[in-house]
Structure 1
Amino acid sequence: MTTFRDVIKSKKYDLVVVPQIEPAVIAMVSCLGIQRNFAIHLHGNPKRERSHLKARILFFLMKAFFLRRTAYVFGTSPRQLSSFREMFDSKVPQCWVPNPVRKFDNAQTTGGEPGCVTFINVGRFSHQKGQDILVRAFAEVHKQRKNTRLKIVGHGSGEEDLRREIARLQLQDVVAIEHHPDDPQPALSTSDIYVSTSRWEGWSLAICEALRFGLPVIATDCEFGPSDILVDPRLGRLVDPEGGASLVTAMIDYCDHIVSAKRDSDFRQSFIDQYSEEKVVDVHATALRAAAG
């Protein structure tokens, strides 16, 4: 805290942007007596982050003392910002600053294994990302549609549990775990349908990158992100947050109508262009100028 205070005190910064609520409180405490404008940049789910005693104390301090010192709240999704406003009874100005979605040199798809429909999920192997929900749903899908395959792409501490679940359901021949740490293009370009089964999100760059390849998306309607992105039925569809029967039904329906679903590929790629880096940077710059002013 002393180092942070020294850095902030060394220059008359117009705005200090701190990610997340807990670090923001710590930063403001360390700068008591120094006149600076602070902005909070939300990334995750504030409700989920209040899960341990230290977090609950810091959240209380934010609501009781430090929110009034906050010049602006930035967020990665509109629903996330609405949740923050409700949780903290906040009157602080807010601004949605969407995450930029990178471009790929050749964002085209060739589809998966010939004669099959390939579902794909990209993300950290963790409870949050809900790959266990996806694997159980896919097991039901594969019972009814033998021409289906699933690729789960990512890394993380939950990989062994995930592999055990795949083995328990006897899906080793039709479910593949792949590692593409920096570039999901090889996996996305050889798939047909993207499935997100996150239990919570802040936004979802993985969904956006799937749309960049023109893939239709099925996503659990979790807090937050998917519902802010899938705002047109041509982009994809939302299912129950717990997955279950609605997820299985959506996967089978896309499997059966994959040809018609692919006709909207160009629309998806065009839609996601609004989040390209060169466009989003202007949104961020405008927000920073407003907060600093």
Structure 2
Amino acid sequence: MHICHIVLNNLGGAPKVADSLISSQVKAGYKVSTVVLTILDPRWKVSFKAAQIVIVMKIAGTLFYIGRAIHQIWVAIQLNRIIAEQKPDIIICHSAFITKLFYLSQFIPGSLSIPYISYIHSDYISESQTERTTNPISELINNISISITSRIDLQALQQSNGLVFVCKALYQRFANIGFKHRRIVISYNPAIDDINNQPLHPIAKSWFDNSQLIAFVCASRFHHQKDHKTLLKAFAKVSENHLNIRLILLGDGELETELKALATSLAINNIVLFAGFVSNPRAYFSQSRVVILASHFEGLPLVLVEAVASGVTFIASDCPVGPRDIFEVLKCGTILPPSDVDALAEAIIDHVKTPQQKIDRSEQITQFFSETSCANQLESLIEQVVSQSV
């Protein structure tokens, strides 16, 4: 059997999971190919352990809505050509967006009729509501665009031969808007070990080595979704009475300059480290007091699972999808309302005042978040889909 995975890029959690699934399928003897829709970022070690094809697809936010739609149709045409050359037995689309592109590609005359599974890693519903503008005309056009796009997205998901949701809350989010499907699997993404022994940032290392300091870590890209502003404001509030705390931010992104300016204006730039992108976050997690995630929305934030796998607990916003699932499954951590500076500050203070305890949830992580479990559930779904498509 030839399985083809379609991913957007090699950045973040979804490609990391796809890479794990691809590796498992290759080991199981399947022929596996990978279609990547953007250029691979060389900083990330996700390599996709199978044949790969790259389509350059620059979806710039500056494109006008109509231009963006035309560009996506162009990509769907290119995708159709690639799939025709590959001739796989089944397609795995690693997002609702990619599912839509593949769905559109099937309307091209002469396209192959290939069953496809949509693998939903993120809170697509929240994502689709984030793009806003203050211009009334642009806002109207944007709302119409979102409405049309959402209908196509949901139709593409509905026509899929199977759906994988990475947690129960994500499935429920779709169910709440009336979405139904005959073949649904809920499969937690695997917690994958770091494979890089990159040295710690020297400042971070000095903080970890100082027994008088308490270091907190946040690992997420600098994007509005991750709400670093609330984290920095809460941290500044705590630092007024707790001079021994430090914050290490792992990652990079479009808001880095803005966030550094905010840290300076809050007078915490000397106790907040922007450590940049790192390929071994668990090395930081294991030496931190707590890992913090303040997002407005998530899919299944594996950073929290990886924190617990490293022996520490977490503080996370109780956004619509993700953190609560992990909180309930692993029976540890603190969840609090999103965008609540005071609640986050209080949670940080609780951990400053409480001696650190190492967390051991190895059994639960093996049971719910293992690579084997994730791969087996997808393999079972693939076999069902292919057997009924023959």
CA contact (8 A) 1:216 1:234 kept: no
CA 1:279/1:91 → structure 2, altered by over 3 Å: closer, same or farther? Answer: closer
What is the match of residue 271 of structure 1? 364
Tell me the residue number matched to 2:170: 80
Give the one of 272, 276, 294 matched to 1:197: 294
Q: Distance in 1 between matches of 2:370 and 2:117?
A: 24
1:131 to 209, 213, 228: 228
- Pick which of 224-233 and 155-164 moved more: 224-233
The residue correspondences of 1:4-83 to structure 2 (distance < 5 A) are 4-9=79-84, 13-32=88-107, 34-51=112-129, 52=142, 53-63=144-154, 65-83=155-173
- Quote the Cα distance in structure 1 between the aligned partners of 2:320 and 2:240: 30
Does the aligned pair in 2 maintain the 1:73–1:95 contact within 8 Å?
A: yes
Q: Is the 8 A contact 1:214 1:269 kept in 2?
A: no
Structure 1: distance between partners of 2:245 and 2:291: 13
In 2, the alpha carbon distance for the partners of 1:78 and 1:14 equals 28
Q: How many Å apart are 1:128 and its aligned residue?
A: 0.9
In 2: Cα distance, 1:144 partner to 1:249 partner = 12
Residue 112 and residue 122 in structure 1: after superposition, are their counterparts in 2 closer, same or farther (change >3 A)? Answer: farther
Match of 1:89 in 2: 179
Task: Give distance in 2, aligned partners of 1:166 and 1:62.
Answer: 39
Contact 2:215 2:247 in 1 (8 A): yes
What RMSD over aligned residues (CA atoms) do the two structures have, in Å? 2.7
What corresponds to 2:193 in structure 1?
Answer: 103
Alpha-carbon displacement from aligned partner over 1:217-257 (angstroms, at most 9, x marks no partner): 11000122111111168521111122322211111112111
Shift of 1:163: 0.6
Which AA in structure 2 matches 1:289?
E
Mapped partners of 2:188, 2:316: distance in 1: 19
The amino acid that maps onto 1:77 is: C
Sort the Cα spacing of 1:112 and 1:57 in 2 relative to 1 into closer, same or farther, 3 A.
Answer: farther
What's the counterpart of residue 154 of structure 1?
Answer: 251
Q: 1-side partners of 2:276 and 2:284: how far apart?
A: 9
Tell me if structure 2 keeps the 8 A contact 1:120–1:191. Answer: yes
Alignment partners' CA distance in 1, 2:375 and 2:209: 34
Please give the per-residue CA displacement for 1:17-38, whole angstroms capped at 9, x wherever unaligned: 2232233233223213753322
Q: Paired residue for 2:237? A: 140
| SS of corresponding position for 1:119 | strand
> In the aligned structure 2, how far is the partner of 1:196 from the partner of 1:122?
8
Query: Which SS does the other structure have where 2:240 is aligned?
Result: helix
Aligned counterparts, 1:115-264, within 5 A: 115-231=212-328, 235-259=332-356, 262-263=357-358
- The two structures have a TM-score, normalised by structure 1, of 0.86
User: Given the two structures, how large is their TM-score scaled by the length of structure 2?
Assistant: 0.66
Cα shift readout 1:89-134 (whole Å, capped 9, x = no counterpart): 3234221232221124799x99563112211101111111111111
CA shift digits 1:123-172 (9 cap, x unpaired):
11111111111111111111232222111111111111111111011012
SS class of match (1:101): coil
Structure 2 runs not aligned, ≥5 long: 1-75, 130-141, 198-204
Confirm or deny: 8 A CA contact 1:112 1:190 kept in the other structure: no
Q: Compare relative contact order (CA 8 Å, sep 6+) and give the higher one, 1 or 2.
A: 1
Structure 2 counterpart SS, 1:152? strand
Aligned equivalents of 1:232, 1:98: Cα separation in 2: 10
Partner amino acid for 1:48?
A: S
Identity within the alignment, %: 21
Corresponding pairs, count: 287
SS in 2 for 1:248: helix
Taking a change above 3 Å as real, the CA distance of residues 133 and 26 of structure 1, as seen in their structure-2 partners, is same
1:69–1:47 Cα change, 3 Å: closer
CA offsets 1:174-229 (integer angstroms, 9 cap, x no match): 21111243111442233111111011111112112211211111100012211111
- 1:7, CA displacement in angstroms? 4.2
**Stretch moving more, 200-209 or 283-292:** 283-292
CA distance in 2 between partners of 1:292 and 1:227 (Å): 34
